[in-house]
Amino acid sequence: MSLVLNTYYLRRRRMLEFLDVLKNTGDSEAATVYLPLGTPLPDIEEVLKKALGMAALPETLPDMIAFSRTGGVLFWGSTRKCLVVPPFPVREQAVFTGFNAEPLRHLLGVDYTIGLVLVHLGAYAVGLCRGEKITASKVGTGLVHGRHKKGGSSQMRFQRRRKKQAAEFLDRVCLHTREHFEAQVKTIDYMVYGGPHQTVMKMQKHCSFLEVFQDRVLAVLDVPDPRREVLEKTVTRLWSSRVTEWREEA
């Protein structure tokens, strides 16, 4: 027998339905393991060994948990074998006999307040959501010319002008971010950034206001040019759990 892997994503409602199915699955051999964000790989391997004994586990499983940005919850039995990477961090390590989804259900039941800053040079979307609902947002564009391909003094003038345009654009995005988030600093649970990595880094460096959220950054996502629909899809993506399931195949 071999284990065949399948990975898919479930939004909150579908994930809760999935957990209901697990709860009603009678499996005398089942165990549930909660492994928090930041658990070192050797510790993950040791916990899985103790919890599951001689069960044949996929070689990549410990790495999948170790490199997750939120930790993982493993449901392992004779009837179902799956790893859930939830949208928000697992905080406590725990091992249960049977399929115990209650800590995960509680995690998914909290309507976290999340700030989103999605930025490309020339387009941005700033949003605040509570749970899966966007409660405030600002979407806009700005003039930032593309790169100059010619050389010489004209290229240098163009680069200076482009640098000034980029700074003015980031100033505007920072202003809108402050307008939306300043009154919510104490209530925002997580911050999410989206866009090209270098642009996001420029934004964080340019906007000193964002420093207050450094310890609450949940993710930096790759997103297309920000528009209202991109903002909405990003919220959906944030609230989706990744499920990796293994099924036995002869």
pLDDT at 168: 86
pLDDT at 121: 85
Rg of the chain in Å (alpha carbons)? 22
**Whole domain around residue 6: which residue ranges?**
2-110
Q: What is the spatial distance between Cα 170 and Cα 55, in angstroms, rounded to a whole number?
A: 53
Packed helices 102-109 and 12-23: angle between N→C axes, nearest 10 degrees: 160
Interval 72-86: pLDDT, tens: 999 999 889 999 999
Residues 85, 50 share a domain: yes
Please, what is the end-to-end C-alpha distance for the chain in angstroms? 5
Residues 223, 118 share a domain: yes
pLDDT at 2: 62
Q: What is the spatial distance between Cα 19 and Cα 209, in angstroms, rounded to a whole number?
A: 39
Residues 119, 98 share a domain: no
Residues 102, 56 share a domain: yes
Question: Strands, DSSP E only, in 102-208?
Answer: 113-120, 123-130, 133-141, 190-194
Q: How many CB atoms lie within 10 A of CB 197?
A: 10
pLDDT at 148: 47
Residues 9, 106 share a domain: yes
Low-confidence ranges of the chain (pLDDT < 50): 1, 148, 152
The count of domains in the chain is 2
Strand-pair category, 190-194 with 113-120: parallel
pLDDT at 150: 53
What are the Cα distances from residue 173, in Å, to 78, 114, 141, 209?
Answer: 52, 17, 9, 11
Residues 209, 169 share a domain: yes
Interval 176-221: pLDDT, tens: 999 999 999 999 999 999 999 999 999 999 999 999 999 999 999 9
pLDDT at 152: 47
pLDDT at 114: 97
Q: What DSSP line would sit under 71-97, residue for residue?
A: -EEEEESSS-EEEEE-SS---S-EEEE
pTM for the model: 0.86
pLDDT at 92: 95
21 falls within a domain: yes
pLDDT at 119: 94
244 falls within a domain: no
pLDDT at 54: 63
